Structures are given as C-alpha cells and as structure tokens.
Amino acid sequence: MAESHVITGLVAKRSEVGGLITHYQQEIARLQEDLQHLDATIKLFDPEYDLRTIRAKEMRQRNHYFDNGECHRLMLEALRELGGRANTAQIVQRVSERKGFEADAHHAVYRGLDGALRRAASTGLVVKNGRDESGNIWKLADLAQ
C-alpha cells in the first residue's frame, strides 16, 4: 500500500489542477462573451465587415531576465564579440556573463536568446548556418557571404 503522505500530496495536487482548469474555463467563457460583444459592435459600425479576416494577436510570455529590447541588443553584441559567428550556447554564455546571471537562469536565458535569434533570422539580421552539439550556429547577415 502506498504511503499516506504520498496519496495526500497527490490528492492536493489533483485538487489544485482541477481548480486551475475550472478557473481558466470560466476565464475563457468570459473572454468569449467579450469577443461576441466586440463583434456585435464592429457590425454596428460596418455590417459588411468580414470578422474572419481579423487574425488573433499572438501572445508571447515575457522573459523577466531582460528589459524590452535588451535581449536582442545583447545577442547582437555577443555575436559581434564572438567574431560574427557562434552557436546558441556560446551566445548564452557571453550574455549570462555580461548580465551576471547564475547557473539556474541558464534555461530561461537560452529560451529567450533562441527566440531573439529566430526573430532576427526572420528579418534577415542573422543567418542560421548549421548546427553543432551545442545548438544552432548563427552568423551576422553581413558576414554570411
């Protein structure tokens, strides 16, 4: 038979998750109602407006280790300091050293910088130039030739 403290902990966790599900279902219902009101208001001003053309805005979770634009700036500075070519792990190491981050922040910093690198690649600022055991290799676009 399982230990009673294990069962107690699992029951408490299940209760917490169930409560979160109920909370978010109620929040979704409230937001759907708000959306219906917005749709009706748009139709009042322009009955011919095609609501299907409105794209949902992507909601990104903010990385609290960086101020607005700081991650992007530090990523570019690190790439320049590393000779214009580096893998993601090297960039993370350089930025972490500059910001004085502890090792426990490594995963969040990696995710933030990886996202910044991918966004910079989509705008042509950096170019993905292969992959090694530590991650993608990136080059500054003006050095990619």
* Predicted local distance difference test score (pLDDT) of residue 64: 81
The CATH number of whichever domain residue 116 belongs to comes to 1.10.10.10
Q: Quick one: 48 and 74 in the same domain? A: no
* Predicted local distance difference test score (pLDDT) of residue 2: 62
Tens-digit pLDDT profile for residues 81-139: 999 899 998 999 999 999 898 888 888 888 889 888 999 999 999 998 888 887 888 99
Q: Is residue 64 part of a domain?
A: no
* Predicted local distance difference test score (pLDDT) of residue 1: 57
Q: How many domains does the chain have?
A: 2
Q: Quick one: 23 and 84 in the same domain? A: no
Q: Quick one: 41 and 91 in the same domain? A: no
Q: Quick one: 135 and 75 in the same domain? A: yes
Q: Is residue 118 part of a domain?
A: yes
Q: Quick one: 125 and 85 in the same domain? A: yes
Give the whole-angstrom CA distance, residue 49 versus residue 54.
10
* Predicted local distance difference test score (pLDDT) of residue 145: 47
Tens-digit pLDDT profile for residues 29-81: 999 999 999 999 999 999 999 999 999 998 877 778 888 888 899 999 999 99
Higher-confidence residue of 5 and 18: namely 18
* Whole-prediction pTM: 0.59
3-state secondary structure of 127: strand
Nearest Cα neighbor of 143 from 82, 85, 81, 77 is 85
* Predicted local distance difference test score (pLDDT) of residue 143: 58
Q: Is residue 81 part of a domain?
A: yes
Q: Is residue 47 part of a domain?
A: yes
Q: Quick one: 104 and 137 in the same domain? A: yes
Nearest Cα neighbor of 73 from 108, 116, 114, 103 is 116
- The beta-strand segments (E) located in the chain are 85-87, 126-132, 135-140
Q: How many CA atoms lie within 13 A of 66 on its CB side?
A: 24
Q: Which domain holds residue 99?
A: 70-143
